[in-house]
Amino acid sequence: MRSPGPPRRERRARGAFPKATPGPGARLAGVRGALGGALGAALAALLLAGCIEVPPPPPKPPLEPKDLKVPEGVGLEMACTPTGVELCFDARDNNCNGVIDEGCGLHTGILQFTIAWEEAEADVDLNVYDPAGELARVGEPTASGLMKDRDCPRVSGECQEQNVENVFLTEGEPARGRYRVVVRLDKLNDATAPVRVRLSARVGQRSYSMALDLSPSPASEEKSVEFTL
């Protein structure tokens, strides 16, 4: 006679247990491990990028006037000849540093246009038009930043009995396009014609200069210079 088997409760106790489900702590540890691996990979990528030499941006080309148009028979002085210290109110870059009438109370900028003449009786005007065709006026900068800071001669005495006019770029980069510079004999008064006027222009770090002869006639009362930036 076969002996009875163990009770059902005992057989269940001896059977295989179901697979344990990981608890919250184990799951959190797994997430931390995955995040740690991702952060480590990102850090390694940053370190590797730091070792790669990034070339600097190419330097900006220097400002140079192009398609220059000067009056017929007028010689353009492009090379500066040092003559010593800077002289005031002669519309020249005497020390060849690119600034016209430096230290003489005239404003300067990356663009500067200056005229000077010896005949105190003559009234000569410097008119500079920006690429939009806007005229630079005293105390009123154009949309591109050109402004006149000296309009002589004046009865008020602010010109200190100097015959000079000056236009400059107040700030920022100059507008690209066609510029027009007009030198006009407004009134001869008691001066003797022709009136010799020195016109100089600073474009970037270089200065350009020329001498203009003006007379009270439709053909010679004004001379213009044009260039493109």
Between CA 44 and CA 50 the distance in angstroms is 10
- Residues of 13-38 as b/e, b for ≥16 C-beta within 10 angstroms? eeeeeeeeeeeeeeeeeeeeeeeeee
Which among 177, 97, 162 is positioned nearest to 130, based on CA atoms?
Answer: 177
Beta strands in 110-192 (DSSP E): 111-117, 123-129, 146-150, 164-169, 178-187
Between CA 73 and CA 50 the distance in angstroms is 60
SS3 state at 197 = strand
169 token code pair: 């770029």
CA 54, chain centre distance (Å)? 25
Q: Parallel, antiparallel, or unpaired: how do β-strands 146-150 and 164-169 relate? A: antiparallel
Which amino acid makes up residue 8? R
180 token code pair: 């027009």
Residue 179's CB is within 10 A of a number of other CB atoms, namely: 23
pLDDT by residue, tens only, the chain of 229 residues: 555 555 555 444 454 545 555 555 555 455 455 545 666 666 666 555 555 666 777 767 778 899 999 999 999 888 777 777 888 999 999 888 889 998 888 999 999 999 999 998 899 999 999 999 999 999 899 999 999 988 887 666 667 667 999 999 999 999 999 999 999 999 999 999 999 999 999 999 899 999 999 999 998 999 999 999 9
> Residue 28's pLDDT is what?
47
